[in-house]
Chains A and B, each alone.
Chain A
Amino acid sequence: MFRGKLFGVFIAVFLVFLYAPTLLLPIFAFNDSSIVSFPLKGFTTEWFGVLRDTKPLHVAAKNSLFIALTSAFLATILGTLAARVASRYKFPGKQAAIGFIMVPMVLPEIIIGVSLLVVIIQMGMSLSLWSIILGHVLICTPFCIAILNGAFMNLDQSLEEASFDLGHSKLKTFWLITIPLVMPGLVSSMLISFTISLDEFIIAFFLAGTEPTLPVYIWGQLRFPAKLPSLMALGTILLVLSLFLLGLAEFFRRRGVKRTGQMNSGGFL
């Protein structure tokens, strides 16, 4: 089954399909035309200059950065606790509890956005950057657990036991032995959460009050044809940033795999 050259052609066509939008983004970002369509006109960096002079964009970028950094930090802490428990402890109901924590991974994001919106309004609080952070921590934590689970599973328990035997307390062992060993996993988990949060739109759109995030700002601008080329430039910057962060995350994940002496078997999930 699935033999021969035809299979290779199919895979090539699939990769073109998969990367088509991603490759078009930088092409239009440098295209010297105010209309985003073919044929291409010429090379320009004008659209990046437009971004530099757009003040509301800078505000949105700062909001997004704050949200993504905070969410990544909080989700990784919550993820570390859960992954540690998943790999090391046994108690009745553990699987169910962890399964419940993982639910946001398959739940439609609109449901999460809507339900958090309802709670925040019902409790008489106003929407702020923190309401988006809560939503993002909720969806990032399962990804952190998936990444950190691998890191904790590969951890050689005898190293921790040796530390106990040599007189260190549990907390000190965790700090001096466990954390350094799973550090690549922690970094990779933070980078992935940061990338998810930076790009997340559906939840942020429901929970953004008067302060937009970057995707919410982009959504507002998509209606104006004149803004499109500069949005392409912005998209290109975000694309390069995401690629850099993902590459870094993958690098740390692999280093973690090497550090614990395991076979490198797959990607993030």
Chain B
Amino acid sequence: MIAKLNSWRKSESAQGVFLLSPTFLFAVALLAAPLIMVLSLSFWTQNYLDLDKTFTLANYKTAWGEPIYQTLMARSLKISLFVTAVTVLLAFPVAYYVSFRVRPEKKALWIFLITIPFWTSYLMRIFLWKVILGYNGVVNGSLLATGIIDTPLSFILYNQNAVVLTLGHAWIPFAILPIFVALEKIDRSLLEAAEDLGDGPVRRFMRVTLPLAMPGVMAATVIVFIPTIGDYVTPRLVGGTNGLMISNMIELQFKKANNAPLGAALALSAMFIVSAIAAVFVFANRKYLKGRD
């Protein structure tokens, strides 16, 4: 009987492996293999049109040692951290509103409304921030018309603030969703229990709601922090010269500068740094993940 059950299980799992293999192999062929190739490329040297395939650490020495790359990397990290902090802080109350204030049958519609801008015209959205923040833009126009300022503000476009704002706008739906899911999972009777035991609204939030929402907050942080480092369109369009990020340099090395090995070393270094920071962040907050199903 047990042997029979085992053989049935075996065939059942064999079927699962068989069904999953096309998707898995596709991901291996187009994700794992290319990443390994980028890794080996980062140890080679570009000689004009030829690749010198002798092992060298020169690209990493350049990527980590030269001031321009250090500046760009530090600035990219700073911008990504800012974007993440702003996005998550802004996303939390919105997710809270949808989860606790909106009637259950309207929740799906709200989530749909919040995600719509994310799906539409990525390039155009970034470009329009330029129109909104520009010297003759919407913000300056309205402030001038209402007499709050006399001369147009110039510190709102072509700098790092503009990059943070535009990136935050692009990523906020991705931060709201995991926090919303975590808040939805909270058993409402726990909140009542806290209230019955004498907690005021603030204490109840700090001791019950927030700790239970932390897995969502952490997911939001990681989901926003890692990909923002890879955006080169936003810094290019709204960042000005002081708002350029490491991805602009990576793009330059792969395209115009024709130094793919250096570009590979920069890309992998950036990837490594953000993943390490994300890992440390998750590890530091690991207590909140306990008891998760």
Which A residues have a C-beta under 8 Å from some C-beta of B?
Answer: 1-3, 7, 10-11, 14-15, 17-22, 24-25, 28, 36-39, 78-79, 81-82, 84-85, 88-92, 94, 97-98, 100-101, 103-112, 114-119, 121-122, 134-135, 137-138, 141, 195-196, 199-202, 206, 215, 218-219, 222, 231-232, 235, 238-239, 242-243, 246, 250, 254, 264-269
Contacts and interface: CB of A to CB of B under 8 A. Distances in A.
Contacts of B121: 22, 25, 199, 235, 238-239, 242
Given A81-B23, A89-B19, A222-B123, A243 B141 contact: no
Contacts of B231: 108, 110, 202
Given A21-B169, A100-B27, A266-B181, A118 B38 contact: yes
B115 A267 contact: yes
Contact of A114 (B117, B119, B267): B267
Interface string B71-89: 0000000000000000000
Contacts of A206: 251, 254
B291 interface: no
Contacts of A201: 122-123, 233
Contacts of A135: 30
B264 A110 contact: no
22 contacts: A2-B97, A15-B113, A21-B124, A22-B125, A25-B121, A25-B128, A79-B23, A103-B31, A104-B27, A108-B270, A110-B247, A110-B250, A111-B38, A114-B263, A135-B30, A138-B27, A232-B124, A235-B124, A266-B184, A267-B108, A267-B111, A267-B115
A248 to B, nearest CB: 12
Given A19-B117, A265-B108, A266-B108, A98 B123 contact: no
Contacts of A24: 128, 131-132, 138
B64 interface: no
B116 A246 contact: yes
Given A82-B23, A238-B121, A108 B138 contact: no
Contacts of B222: 106
B131 A28 contact: yes
Contact of A115 (B15, B37, B112, B228): B37
Contacts, number: 243
B19 A231 contact: no
B131 A81 contact: no
Contacts of A36: 131
A114 B190 CA distance: 48
B115 A268 contact: yes
Given A106-B226, A116-B34, 12 more contacts: A18-B114, A39-B141, A81-B22, A103-B31, A111-B38, A114-B250, A119-B33, A134-B30, A138-B30, A199-B121, A266-B111, A269-B177
A81 B180 CA distance: 28
A235 B250 CA distance: 28
B230 A110 contact: yes
A209 B26 CA distance: 22
A89 B13 contact: yes
B122 A215 contact: yes
Contacts of A219: 123, 233
Q: How large is the interface on B (under 10, 10 to 19, 20 to 34, 35 or more residues)?
A: 35 or more
Given A25-B128, A100-B24, A108-B230, A115 B123 contact: no
A10 B91 CA distance: 11
Nearest to A98: B20
Contacts of B204: 1
A84 B12 CA distance: 13
Contact of A85 (B20, B112, B131, B223): B20
Contacts of B230: 107-111, 202
A107 B15 contact: no
B229 interface: yes
A117 B288 CA distance: 40
B89 to A, nearest CB: 12
B119 A195 contact: yes
B69 interface: no
A117 B41 CA distance: 12
